[in-house]
Amino acid sequence: MTVVEPQPQVLSASPPSAVRVRDLRKSYDVTEKEGGFLGSLKSFVNPKTRKVEAVRGVSFDLQGGEMVGFLGPNGAGKTTTLKMLAGLLHPSGGELSVLGHRPQKRETAFLKNITLVMGQKQQLIWDLPALDTFLVNQAIYEVPDDAFKRTMAEFSEVLDLEPILKKQVRKLSLGERMKCELAAALLHRPKVLFLDEPTIGLDVNMQVRIREFIRAYNERYGATVILTSHYMADVTALAKRILVIDAGRLVFDGDLAELAEKSSPHKTVKLQLGSPTTRDLLSRYGEVVALEGLSAEVNVPRAEVSMLAARLLTELDVADLTVEDPPIESVIGQLFGAERGNEHL
């Protein structure tokens, strides 16, 4: 008789999400006021309120260590969502879990493991050197001295903080201040970062610097990062996955490349020509978006790109040809429609 030993059961559970959002909702009650003194009096006696549904049923999961771009036009609900994730706002409905915590409870273990950076707000103490805010945060987050020193040394190296640490915050440039803001927000080494426009108003070099810092932090500490920015370069450099929110609803969750595929019907063929050609001739292949000397760019329908590229190579004097997705700005622009004023994404 053969005895079949019971096999140990292997449960292949997927790792729990660092951030879990289900049907998240937030509405604000806004008091409407008519203009003028009489209007003020009327709304004081008989206030009229209106509901603004800022977030209307958003669901997504972020795995530990993931970096995700959170995009949407003005007023789409990005900041409201991030504030709920950070526990600053109570949701009107739905479920939220960040590292297993309900953010609105603002438990110490939760607060010690997250950070919210808002490019438009500051936490540094204005009249004191940034170092003093760092020390205050060290005390608040109970960071041991040796960990504080190590983290400061590491951040100082990447962000070049040394020359500005002892300068009064009010005397720092915007870029210098942002470097210190980030350092202050991260020196307790949070595992989840909510970054709301961390590079707003900075020049291109400083944007790159801040981006490198965020990337290095993510790699070094395996932090989960959700980032909003209206500089597409931030998003393309840092995030592979994109969440797009529009009027409080999640309208896309996927790869950047997939977003381009979904929302843009064309690809851009970039040509380096061996001899000059005319716009007329090029327009037989697609929409000519640029022709300067021997360089040209033609938008062609996605489905026909291989056939048209082959034709271009045989029919014209082409020295070099590359096929690219359109820039993410134009992809997002198409997604929301030009008329929506989407310069700020």
Q: Which of 80, 115, 207, 224 binds ligand ATP (CB under 6 A)?
A: 80
**Amino acid of residue 241:** R
**233, containing H or E segment:** helix 232-238
264 interacts with ligand ATP by CB under 6 A: no
| Position among 21, 25, 67, 77 found at the interface with ligand ATP (CB under 6 A) | 77
72 counts as binding ligand ATP under rule CB under 6 A:
yes
- The CA distance from 116 to 80, in Å, is 12
The smaller minimum CB distance to ligand ATP, of residues 60 and 148, is found at 60
**Does residue 75 touch ligand ATP according to CB under 6 A?**
yes
Selected from 58, 76, 117, 259, the binder of ligand ATP by CB under 6 A is 76
78 binds ligand ATP (CB under 6 A): yes
Tell me how far, at minimum, the Cβ of 310 lies from ligand ATP, in Å. Answer: 43
Which candidate, 123, 160, 150, places its Cα nearest to that of 221?
150
Q: Which of residues 47-66 bind ligand ATP (CB under 6 A)?
A: 52, 54
Nearer to ligand ATP, 195 or 291 (CB): 195
Under a CB-based contact definition with an 8 Å cutoff, are residues 194 and 82 in contact?
Answer: yes
Distance CA 270, CA 299 (A): 9
Which residues contact residue 87 at a Cβ distance below 8 angstroms, ignoring those fewer than 6 apart?
98, 103, 104, 105, 106, 110, 111, 114
Q: Which is nearer to ligand ATP, 28 or 221 (CB)?
A: 28
The whole-angstrom separation of Cα 205 and Cα 116 is 23
Question: Which residues are near ligand ATP by CB under 6 A?
Answer: 28, 30, 52, 54, 72, 74-80, 344
